Amino acid sequence: MRILIVNITRLGDQLQTSPTIAGLKERYPHAEITVVGDARHMEVCRGIPGVDRVYELDLNRIGRDLLGGGTRLVDAYRYVERIVRDLRGPQFDLAFNFSSSRMSSVFMRLLRITDCRGWMMDSEGNRLIVHPWSRLFVASVLNRRYTPYNLVDFYCRVAEVRPRETRLRYEVSTAGDARAAELLAEAGVRVGERIIALQPGASNVIRQWPPDAFVALGRRLQAELGAWVLLLGGPDDAALCERIASQLGTRVVSAAGRTDLPTLGGLLTRASALVTGDTGPMHLATAVSTPVIAMYFGPAYVWETGPYGADNIAFQTRMACSPCHHAVRCLAPVCRNDMTPDMVFWAVHDRLAHDYQALAERARGWDGVDVFRTGFDAEGMSEPVALAPRAEPTEAFRLLYREMWRVVLDGRGDEVRAVARVRERWAARVGQGGGDASIDVRTQRAALEALVALGERGARLGQSLLREAGDSTASIAALESIAAEIEAVDAEITRIGHVEEAVGTITRTFTFGKENLSDTRELGVLGRETVELYAALERWARVSLRLLDVIDPGVNVRREEIRTGAGRAVAAARSAEAAESAGLVW
């Protein structure tokens, strides 16, 4: 069996593919796995266990040739033609495109692989999202505050694998390890001395913690922990790291711009911890089992790309605009200041001591941030656990969506276990936070109930479409009438998702499902798929409501009032008020 994996974005994305590769090797022990990666990331591809072949794709070359014009356009065409010829040769049985770019979608279409998951392209040049978990991933990216899963778990679900070992994987080469030892020895670091690594730079300046904050942290690490400070980064970070190093004086090593990836991996294996933002070195540290203290602010979000491994510490800003959109250029990124050097120092201190209880006590006094300890749930999926949990609607819906999507997309349908898990975990969050379990979710409930009704309505219209398609005497007017009603239902579903953020992931996943109906003009096929999709929407909303009942038990009291007639007028008024507040009156 031959398997192709395409991931041509960033270094961290390549590393986050490693558990999927491990899972595929476990499921298909004799499979040959080929990874296509950007030429800039070949070293990381070659260090991931389980990869049998690495194919280099020079995206910069394609861009230069396309922009050069003239005969260079022909050069670009010939280069792409060679890539397609090379990758068609092995005749892959299964392919995954984890890159969302249009270019990668074109490549996957040209390769003509029958079982291809992720991003594809149809015969008319429209991008397709093939696989339910891929569509959920894209919908979650567009509704980020309610993202329930780590990117790694999305990859694994699309591949339908669950690797035994829950961590990223990277094997440091002997040469890289030797160069790392040599670099530290030259700086005067003796074997056995404590090293704390800092990664001051980031690909986006808005993701960078202020340099003065790194200086203040470094001084405390040196003075109170007796640690060497190891500054890491690429060539573009060298000046920044040298400036920080000059203020730290002794017991500091700047390796920025002086390492290749294997050497960086060797340095990280020698560090007691890494302090960083959401960066490629953060993922490399988790892949070589170095503890991470990560800071998430700006567009970075711990629930999406948090450190994948056990017992890492992650800070997440709590500003109302967090996480901001990746394309936003913030004029006042004050969120970076919410994580103070004092907070980060104590996170390093307590993590090295494995004293998570002490860190939890401190976190209760840090109002501007949430502090998470990374780990995994019973299903083996990444789950950052708040050290100072808060009972609030966003957390409630993220919790119930973690269970709902697994029930409806994994096909096991185990709602009873899902209810039990939500009840247990919500009670734990409320108990640890010492707060009131009651939260106001009336508008969110009204939105879910509306989606149930729309799902039922859409399924009935789909059945009507099927009947008309099978009737040789059916008129065009009748078909057009049904189509118009379906469009009206779809428009209402979309509107509800925009009005009530908490259900936006559900409505967008449905929309992506509609956009990915079979590439056919056969009304019978489209009718059946339409019925199935609306039935799925109804089930998603119903299961969500059942889980919401666990979090919001007061609804059962309200239902009893309605049933007995004791509070019918009050309940009706509440329902109308909630629907109007949510903008759900139509």
Mean pLDDT over each residue of the chain, to the nearest integer: 89
Give the pLDDT band of residue 564 (cuts 50, 70, 90): low
Q: What pLDDT does residue 437 have?
A: 58
Give the pLDDT band of residue 392 (cuts 50, 70, 90): confident
515 token code pair: 């956009």
Topology alike, domains 2-159 and 175-386? yes
Amino acid at 88: R
Which stretch of 180-194, 197-211, 294-308, 347-361 has the lowest confidence by average pLDDT?
Answer: 197-211
- How far is residue 446's CA from residue 451's CA, in Å, rounded to a whole number? 9
Q: What pLDDT does residue 578 have?
A: 46
Per-residue pLDDT, averaged over 294-302, amounts to 92
- Residues written for the chain: 586
Residue extents of the structural domains in the chain: 2-159, 175-386, 442-581
Q: What pLDDT does residue 321 have?
A: 80
Q: What pLDDT does residue 585 have?
A: 41
pTM exceeds 0.85, yes or no: yes
pLDDT tens, position by position, 572-586: 555 455 445 445 543
Please list the residues that pair with 55 across neighbouring strands. Answer: 36
What is the CATH architecture of 2-159?
3-Layer(aba) Sandwich (3.40)
**Residues 170 and 265: beta-carbon distance below 8 Å:** yes
**Residues 498 and 512: beta-carbon distance below 8 Å:** no
pLDDT at 571 over 70: no
Which of 364-373, 524-533, 560-569 tops mean pLDDT? 364-373
Q: What pLDDT does residue 299 have?
A: 87
Q: Each residue of 500-535: b (16+ CB within 10 Å) or e?
A: bbbbbbbbbbbbbbbebeeeeeebeebbbbbbebbe
pLDDT at 525 over 80: no
Residue 377 phi/psi, 5-degree rounding, is -90, -175
Which stretch of 92-101, 156-165, 204-213, 361-370 has the lowest confidence by average pLDDT?
Answer: 204-213
Q: Does domain 175-386 have CATH number 3.60.15.10?
A: no
pLDDT tens, position by position, 486-510: 999 999 999 999 999 999 999 999 9
Q: What pLDDT does residue 413 have?
A: 62
Give the pLDDT band of residue 519 (cuts 50, 70, 90): low
pLDDT at 235 over 90: yes
**Residues 162 and 23: beta-carbon distance below 8 Å:** yes
Q: What pLDDT does residue 199 have?
A: 97
